[in-house]
Structure 1
Amino acid sequence: MSRIRAAFWDPAGARYGIPTYPWRMAPGHLMTLRQLATEGLRPGGQGVQAQILWRSRRHGAPGVRAAYLYDVRFALPKRTATPAQLAALAKANAARRTCPDCNRDAGYVLPRHLGTCLDCAEASPDLRQVA
């Protein structure tokens, strides 16, 4: 085991307060939120059970990064949305696609910086003055 991995090896939690493992060395029953989600699970009210620590130079800034782990044995199935929630989401997404100038569904989410569909923004005299 390398020195970096050894520095993050603390399965008892004596050094970091919770069990800590190096990158790719956590037990199989511990998963991140993203891993739980791909399995169709959610933490189900349990707190963080352990963490993974690794050194990173992301964006040029050296440091230590962490990923929190949850026990899959206590995880619950993901909740499914009710028909009313799905209808509300569909309505909200339709509003994001509807142009306020021409009142048609653009087929894509309108750019916030324009506030209108691309056709209306292109025809707008305000856009020609800026360009």
Structure 2
Amino acid sequence: MYEHGTAAAHLLTRRQLRASGLRPGGHDPVALLRCRRCAYRPLRQCTRPAYLYDSRLALPRRTPTLAQEEALDRAMAARQTCTTCRTRQPYCLPRADRRCTACATGADLAAAA
């Protein structure tokens, strides 16, 4: 277990591996990193530990296939398409009704009148 800022340079978190273009490659974490907040209380058990992976054992990230990218695009289109006006928005719509802001406020105003 390492304190915040004391881990060796080759030990990285998952986010750091991803930023470097790597993945754990099936290897388990080799160490734990205590958060900065818990470093001030050495006898206390850390509430937010981070797992550290050895970057020397990491493998390059895999690139998704064209079929996988198409499937992800279809899934995002389902989350971003308004059920009323059928236009695709640049953001995910609420799960409750899947309506864009214009359709939701227009229907609410019409119902109130």
**What is the aligned partner in structure 2 of residue 91 from structure 1?**
74
**What is the aligned partner in structure 1 of residue 86 from structure 2?**
103
Distance 2:108 2:14 in 1: 48
Distance 2:35 2:78 in 1: 43
Query: Can you give the 5+ residue segments of structure 1 that lack an aligned partner in the other structure?
Result: 1-19
* SS of alignment partner, residue 86 of structure 2: coil
- The structure that has the greater radius of gyration is 1
Amino acid at match of 2:58: A
Of 7, 11, 16, the match for 1:35: 16
Q: Cα RMSD between the aligned structures?
A: 2.3
Amino acid at match of 1:40: G
Amino acid at match of 2:16: Q
* SS of alignment partner, residue 123 of structure 1: helix
Aligned residues: 106
Q: Which has the higher contact order (CA 8 A, sep 6+)?
A: 2
Greater fraction strand: 1
Contact 1:22 1:52 in 2 (8 A): yes
Percent identity of the aligned residues?
44
* SS of alignment partner, residue 69 of structure 1: strand
Contact 1:21 1:51 in 2 (8 A): yes
Shift in Å, 1:110: 1.4
Query: Can you give the 5+ residue segments of structure 2 that lack an aligned partner in the other structure?
Result: 39-43
Contact 2:79 2:98 in 1 (8 A): no
Tell me the TM-score normalised to structure 2 length.
0.80
Tell me the TM-score normalised to structure 1 length.
0.70
| Cα distance change on mapping 1:98 and 1:55 into 2, 3 Å | closer
Question: Is it true that 1:26 corresponds to 2:7 in the alignment?
Answer: yes
